[in-house]
Chain A
Amino acid sequence: MFGIVDPSEKLSMHINLSSDVALSGLRTIATVFIAIVAFPTCAADQVDMAMVEQGRQIFETVAGVGCKACHGPFAEGKVGPSNRGVNEATIREALAKIGPMQFLREQLAEEDIKRVAAYTGWMGRHMLVKSLLKRGRFIPDAISVYPGTPVQLVIENTGSEPATLAADGIPVAASTIAARDTASIVWTAPETEGKSTIACSDCKIKDGLLAIEVTKTAKPYIPPPQPKVVAKP
């Protein structure tokens, strides 16, 4: 089960876990989205979250490989550039001009492109922070966030056993990441400075902690500018 929590709902907590992925055992980078603190309500955030979720599914599966195969599971960039924040016009231009994307042209209907753009746009409004959970340790084990920043915190459980996350200082209930699966925690940092931690409560190594510091010394997040598409045969 997958899901994206609509930030405009101002949920204090919403957890959505992907148990089917655990059953499959495949490391599909299926996402578990956990909204912890609501985003501020503003016009930019009044997005159709159902459309964003549809876009995410297309992003992960189109043509059997998904956009993620080249752009990364969280659009952070892989062999293709990061496309966090790209809009519909940019996607259409890339489909028209980028040779390696040719195979996608007949796979994406008009509405599909709009949905993918909704998802990439949504991602662009969040700062991506990634940490691996490997053998009970978080890598990196400390992150800093500027106050008030919308964050997509991705924790990848690299192990062959499920891992249960327990947070201290941020309002998230204990949740389990399946073996070789990924959790995506959507969260807006508070406006006040402070520290919190996430631990793995059932890992063999118990002392691993992910320290999250909300501080004005952190670099403020600036959503990426719209990239310029350069034609490639």
Chain B
Amino acid sequence: MPTTPLRWPCWLAALAAIGAILLSPVLCASADDSWATPLATKLGVTLEKSFDSTGPDAWDPKKHPLVFVTTEGPGYGGLLSGVTLPGIAIVDADSREVVTSQHYDVLAWGWKNVFEDHGVGVSPDGKWIYLPTGEGTFGTMGFGRLLIINARTLKLDKVLHTNGNPHHAKVLHTPDGRHLVMSYGWGQPLFVLDPAQDNKVVGGLDFNDIGIDTYLYFASPDGQEIIAGGRFRDSAARKDTFGNVMVRIGTKDWRVIGTIPIQESTPVWVAFSADNKYAYFTGAVTSRVFKYDRKADKIVGTARAGVEGPYGAHFGWNDKDLYVIGKGEESHNRGKVLGFIDTALMEKSERPVDQFVTNCIRGDHGILHPDPDANELWISCNSSFEVVVFDLDQKQVTKRIPMPNGGSSHSGAFVKYDGWSGDVLSDQNGLHGSALKKKRELLGIRDVGSNVQGAPGPGGKM
């Protein structure tokens, strides 16, 4: 736990929590009312703690100009790592060596337990790391937390309190030039933070606005919309009911702009083609992938996922071969394989092309390495406590990166640093910024969206 000086006027809150403080080296600040926005209040997000996160550099970006930021947490579902605190690990994306790791002693604040970090995000400028966690488990309400970490010092800067336990965090570039971070969780609707405005909530909508619970959210490459999968809260319904919808949300005013009927009770992931034309949805119960034509606004093809209980779905650099992470979602939840689909075949055949063994136990997300010559998918392994590097050219795992303290890895983001000016090039939502631009150049895609400028966003020194 990083130690930070007390910041006025937080001493009152610090006194009120003196018992917890005695156990913790951290002196924290209480919520700042000026941070709250009407949207934050509506979406159940409050600023619980804030800290002075300045201090000595925790790592050297000159030595490691391209890094992979991932989680290192306790694990879940009966496969526990021994790590007890939420944490992050930073890996050099070229040498594949662990640069550093940091854990955050939330138990010292009196938390009863730690909910596994199920994702991690980095602000578009590389300045902040977002680590979802909380207390309780998947359905717990009222104890969610999103830790906001200074990427330079790896000290906590803020703790946001959320109603539901947060799940993921990732970059969102909107067509009007905003460079944001979106997050959501179990029972926690979408909320969007603006790193340039002290990470205040500037976007999002609740389940009443949507009309249905939703699960995961993914932004289109043009940034114009977010597609979320409908989620039945009742697990029995998730097994027995096949009619569901994907929900389209406009990023201009955070309204539902449409729904897409889908014959899948538990849609999970959304992967967009780089040309903005198609989106691909994974279905955990049917173990299928659905191809959605964005212009025609309908599903135009399906294929078997090549795995049982698919979760993430990811393109490599050719934007044609889709790799489906066989997590075993809504099934055995011990998946260790990768499905391979030729998307060009989806309107002609339901067959996947192949399946590859990774032995990445309960792998969930793959993050595409931003170097096209690498053409690697870095897959986080929740329960074999490692990141595996799957070479999409050789179609095999070429490197296993054990987590430094044996913790659980869950998602990740590739960030390029020039000094301390960062640029998120790839996360669970696919490529961003200059990497997406490069992909479009290689593929000859000229009809680019408004969010694919080479500039990373607000940039600036930390």
Contact = CB atoms under 8 A, between A and B. Distances in A.
A160 B372 contact: yes
B22 interface: no
B344 A180 contact: no
B342 A25 contact: no
A63 B348 contact: yes
A64 B442 CA distance: 21
A78 B353 contact: yes
B393 interface: yes
B418 interface: no
A78 B354 contact: yes
Contacts of B318: 27, 180
A227 interface: no
Interface string B88-112: 0000000000000000000000000
B contact patch SS = loop
Contacts of B349: 70, 100, 103
B345 A70 contact: yes
A24 interface: yes
A179 B345 contact: no
B344 A65 contact: yes
Interface residues of B, number: 24
Interface string A90-109: 00000000001001000000
Contacts of A167: none
Contact of B353 (A26, A79, A132, A179): A79
B13 interface: no
Contact of A160 (B352, B354, B373, B391): B373
A158 interface: yes
Nearest to B345: A69
Contacts of A156: 393
A24 B444 contact: yes
Given A78-B354, A100-B349, A25 B441 contact: yes
Interface string B358-399: 000000000000001111000000000000000101100000
B372 A26 contact: no
Complex A-B, nearest 7 residue pairs according to Cβ-Cβ distance, in ascending order:
A160-B372, A158-B393, A25-B444, A79-B353, A27-B318, A159-B373, A103-B348
Contacts of B442: 25, 160, 179-180
B403 to A, nearest CB: 26
Contacts of A139: 394
B17 interface: no
Nearest to B440: A25
16 contacts: A25-B442, A25-B443, A64-B344, A65-B342, A65-B344, A65-B348, A70-B345, A70-B351, A79-B342, A79-B352, A100-B349, A134-B373, A135-B373, A158-B375, A160-B317, A179-B442
Contacts of A179: 442
B444 A26 contact: yes
B154 to A, nearest CB: 31
Interface string A52-88: 0000000000011100011000000011000000000
A161 B394 CA distance: 18
A151 to B, nearest CB: 22
Contacts of A70: 345, 349, 351, 353
A79 B393 CA distance: 17
Contacts of B373: 134-135, 158-161
Given A70-B345, A79-B352, A180-B318, 20 more contacts: A24-B444, A25-B441, A25-B443, A26-B444, A27-B318, A27-B320, A63-B348, A69-B344, A70-B349, A70-B353, A79-B354, A100-B349, A132-B394, A134-B373, A134-B391, A135-B374, A159-B373, A160-B317, A179-B442, A180-B442
Contacts of A64: 344
Nearest to A159: B373
Nearest to B373: A159
Contacts of A65: 342, 344-345, 348
Nearest to A161: B373
